[in-house]
Structure 1
Amino acid sequence: MTRARKELVSVETTPYYHCICRCVRRAFLCGEDSYSGKNYEHRRGWVLERLRELQGVFAVDVCAYAVMSNHYHLVVRLDADRAAAWSEGEVMERWARLFSLPVLVARYRAGQTKTVAERERAQLQIVEWRARLQDLSWFMRSLNEHLARRANAEDGCKGRFWEGRYKSQALLDDAAVLTCMSYVDLNPVRAGMADTPEASDFTSIQQRIRALARKDQGHEGPACEGDEPRLTVLGREGDDPHGNAVAFTTEDYLELVDWTGRAIREDKRGAIPESIPPILERLRIDPVHFLRHVGRGGSTQHVAALGGVGSMRSAAVSAGRCFIKGIGVSARLFAGPGGWICTP
C-alpha cells in the first residue's frame, strides 16, 4: 500500500534522501527516441538549470544527480537549520522568486499593515512558507512541474509528463549515502551510455571530476559551471559554509566510483578488483554486495530506507512501526550499528 509522504520523509530521522522520477510510459522524453526519430537531449540540461535555480530558493543541497534519457536520480540533503536562520524578509524574498505574494503579505512586507490581526496572519503565512522551503515534496514539485510545463509547451500538448509522484528513499547514515551516490553516479556506465565516470554526461561525478581537475590546475572558484547545480562538499574537513559535508572526502569517493566503474564494465562483469578502496572497510560496507547492488542496478530502489541495521531499526521505532522495508537488503550491504543480522 502506498504510504503518505510524511511517513517516508522525516528530517528528524535523516536529512538525506534519494529521489527518482521517470517520464510517462518510460518514453525517451529526455533523450533520443529511436522509434520516432526525435531528439530531446536538450531537455536534460533543463533539469540542471532548474536545480541550480531552486538551490537559490530552498534549503536543499544536491549531493549527487544523474539525468538519463527517460528518468533522473537525485540525492539531496534537507537543511532545516539553515531555513530556521532565515529572517522573515529572506523567506518572503525567496518565496517571491517562485510564486506571487498574496496582497496581505505584500502589504506586510512593505510595512503597510494597520492591525495586529493582519500582521499575525501574514506572519503565520511566512511560518508556513519557511516550512515549505525546507520540504522535499515542495522542492520536487517545483522541479517537476516546471519541467513538465516546459516540455508540454515545446510539444504543443497537454497531460502528464511524469509517470506519477516521485519515489523517495531515506538514507540513514554515511554508508547509505555513499552507496546511493555511487549507484546514482554510475547510471550511464551501467546502462552502457558511457565507458568511464568522467565520460558520463549530466552526472554529478563528471562535475566533481572536472572541478577537481580545475583545482589541481590552480583555478579557484566554485565547483560548478554555467547552469550546473552546486554540489555539497565531501569530507567534514571541507569548506562547506553550512557544515553539510558528509564523512568521506572527494578523493575517497572518486577512488571508489572509479574502482566500481571498472568492475562493472561488460568485459569484467562480476569481477572484483584485488585492491579494494579502504573507504568500504572504514564504513563497514561489504564489497561483494556493494558491487552487486551498484553494478547490476541495485535491489533497493523500492525500499523505504537504506542504512546500517541499527539505523534501520531506529528509523522503524521513530516511525512507530515494527518493521521497515529494506532491512534485509541493508543487512547484506552494511555491518553498521547493530551488526549483521544475516549471512550472505
Structure 2
Amino acid sequence: MPRPRSTQISLEDTPYYHCCSRVVRRAFLCGDDKYTGNNYDHRRGWVESLILELTEVFAIDVAAYAVMSNHLHVVLHIDIETVNRWSDRDVIEQWHKLFKGDELTHKFANGQLIEPHEVARLKHTIAIYRSRLCDISWFMRCLNEPIARQANQEDNCSGRFWEGRFKSQALLDEAAVLACMAYVELNPVRAKMASTPEHSDYTSIQQRIKAAIKGEQPKALLPFIGNERAQQPKGIAFSFKDYLELVDETGRVIREDKRGAISKSAENILQRINVPAATWLKLTTDFGKLFRGPVGSVQELDNYYTHLEKRRRHFASSCQYLPFS
C-alpha cells in the first residue's frame, strides 16, 4: 500500500530525494514507438526545458536528471534556507511565475493597500505558497501535468499519461547521493541510447560537460563545490572533476566487455567517499533494483525512521551495499 508522501520526507535527515515518473500507457514519452512508427524525441526537450524552468521558481535544486523513453529521473535538493529567507513579496512573485494567484495576492504584489480585514487571509495564503515552493510533490506536479497535457493533445486522446504517483526515495548520505546521481546519469548508456555520457542527450551530465568545456558549471543545476571548504556555499561537497572521472570510469565498467573490471583510477576516486570499488559497481548498476525506499548507511536509515516516528526499519537489508560510518 502506498505511503503518504509526508511520511517519506524528513528534512532533518536529508534535503536530497530521488524521484522517478513512468508513463502508464503504451505510447512512448520519447524515442521511436515500434507500434505506431512515430518518433517522440521532441518530448524529451519539453521535459528538460520544464525541469530547468522550475528551478527558477521553486526553492528546489536539481542535482541530476535523465529523460528516458518511458520514464524520467530527477535528483532533487530541497533548499529550505532559501525559501525561509524569501520575503512575503518574494514568495508571491515566485508563485505568480507559475500560477495566477488571486485578487488579493495581485494587490499585494502591485503594492496596493491591503485592508486590515484582509491581512490574516493574505498571511495564510503566503504561508501555503511558501510551503509549496519547497515541496517535491508540487515540483513533480508542475513537471508532470503540463507534459501530460501536451502529450495527450499531441496523441489526440485523454486520460492518464503518467502513473498515479511518482516514486521518491530519501538519499541519506553523500555516498547515496553520488551513487544515485551516477545511476541516473548513466541510464542512457545502460539502455544503449548513448555510447558515452557526453553523448547522452537530455541529461544533466551532458549539461555539466558542455559547461565544463567553457570552464563553468550550469547555473540551473546544483553545483559541485569541492569538499575542503571551511564555509561551504550551497552545493554538492565533492570535486566536480572527480565526479566526471567517476561517472566516466563507472560507465566504462558497465559496458558489456568491461563488466567487473575496475581500473586503478576508479578505485582512487572511490576511496575519497569510502566506498569499495566492487560495492560502487553494484550500486551504480543495480541502484533501481536494490533500493525501493530511503537510501543511506544503516545508522542514517535508523535516524531517518526515528525522526519520522516509524518503528519498522523498511529496506534496511539493502543498506549492506553502503558504507557503515
TM-score by length of 2: 0.93
**Correspondence 1:306 to 2:295:** yes
- Segment of structure 1 superposing worse, 57-66 or 202-211: 202-211
> Which SS does the other structure have where 1:19 is aligned?
strand
CA distance in structure 2 between the aligned counterparts of 1:261 and 1:197, rounded to whole angstroms: 8
**Correspondence 1:265 to 2:250:** no
Question: For residue 28 of structure 2, what is the aligned residue in structure 1?
Answer: 28
CA distance in structure 2 between the aligned counterparts of 1:281 and 1:210, rounded to whole angstroms: 27
Matches within 5 A, 1:43-58: 43-58=43-58
Question: For residue 13 of structure 2, what is the aligned residue in structure 1?
Answer: 13
Q: Label 1:133 to 1:297 Cα distance change in 2 as closer, same or farther (>3 A).
A: closer
Cα displacement (A) at 1:24: 1.3
Matches within 5 A, 1:140-159: 140-159=140-159
Q: Label 1:308 to 1:297 Cα distance change in 2 as closer, same or farther (>3 A).
A: closer
Deviation string, structure 1 residues 73-96 (Cα, Å, up to 9, x no partner):
100101011011111111111111
Cα displacement (A) at 1:27: 3.8
Contact 1:113 1:119 (8 Å CA) reproduced: no
Contact 1:17 1:171 (8 Å CA) reproduced: yes
For the aligned residue pairs, the C-alpha RMSD in angstroms reads 2.1
Cα displacement (A) at 1:327: 2.0
Gaps of 5+ in 2: none
Give the residue type in structure 1 aligned to 2:104: L
Question: For residue 221 of structure 2, what is the aligned residue in structure 1?
Answer: 231
> Which SS does the other structure have where 2:25 is aligned?
helix
Cα displacement (A) at 1:298: 4.0
**Correspondence 1:42 to 2:42:** yes
CA distance in structure 2 between the aligned counterparts of 1:324 and 1:98, rounded to whole angstroms: 38
Deviation string, structure 1 residues 131-167 (Cα, Å, up to 9, x no partner):
1001111111011011111111222221111022110
Question: For residue 171 of structure 1, what is the aligned residue in structure 2?
Answer: 171
Deviation string, structure 1 residues 86-137 (Cα, Å, up to 9, x no partner):
1111111111111112122223334545532211111110111011001111
Cα displacement (A) at 1:68: 0.6
TM-score by length of 1: 0.88
Cα displacement (A) at 1:309: 1.6
Q: Label 1:310 to 1:237 Cα distance change in 2 as closer, same or farther (>3 A).
A: closer
Q: Label 1:252 to 1:114 Cα distance change in 2 as closer, same or farther (>3 A).
A: closer
Matches within 5 A, 1:94-243: 94-113=94-113, 115-215=115-215, 223-224=217-218, 230-236=220-226, 243=233
Contact 1:259 1:277 (8 Å CA) reproduced: no
**Correspondence 1:335 to 2:317:** no
Gaps of 5+ in 1: 216-221, 338-344
Give the residue type in structure 2 aligned to 1:223: Q
Q: Label 1:63 to 1:268 Cα distance change in 2 as closer, same or farther (>3 A).
A: same
Contact 2:89 2:108 (8 Å CA) reproduced: no
> Which SS does the other structure have where 1:36 is aligned?
coil
Give the residue type in structure 2 aligned to 1:233: P
> Which SS does the other structure have where 1:58 is aligned?
coil
Contact 1:299 1:329 (8 Å CA) reproduced: no
Question: For residue 248 of structure 1, what is the aligned residue in structure 2?
Answer: 238
Question: For residue 85 of structure 1, what is the aligned residue in structure 2?
Answer: 85
- Segment of structure 1 superposing worse, 287-296 or 57-66: 287-296
Cα displacement (A) at 1:176: 0.6
